[in-house]
Amino acid sequence: MWNLLDYPSMVLPVANFKISPERDPPNTSYKHSTSNPYNKPNHEMYHPNLFVNQPSTIQVVGRPFDDEELIEVSAAIDKLLREHGIGSQNKIRADRVSKL
């Protein structure tokens, strides 16, 4: 979707990050917005047991025409995730991006 709007984006896989039914229960105090008809049905669909073994990702979106900056920021996030043992096995190489 972001590419259709001319916003560069990257998706970073997150390893060893799992949804826990005990730690991630549905928010029973959530009050949905009446201005958006999709809020309530989307909130009601969430059940942590459905997501226990699903892969997780982080999507990073940059400003138009700032692709190199997006790659550098994504590489920094990826490095932090890997340092904490939840990043991907594949390292983002921001140093391989040519500067314009």
Tokens read off for 43: 């909130």
User: Residue written as tokens 């958006």?
Assistant: 36
The Cα angle at residue 29 between residues 28 and 30, in degrees rounded to 5? 95
* SS3 call for 2: coil
For the entire predicted model, the pTM comes to: 0.66
Q: What is the pLDDT along the chain (100 residues), one digit of tens a residue?
A: 888 899 999 999 888 777 888 888 888 888 888 888 888 888 888 888 988 888 888 999 999 999 999 999 999 998 898 888 887 766 666 665 555 4
Question: Which backbone phi and psi does 61 adopt, to 5 degrees?
Answer: -120, 135
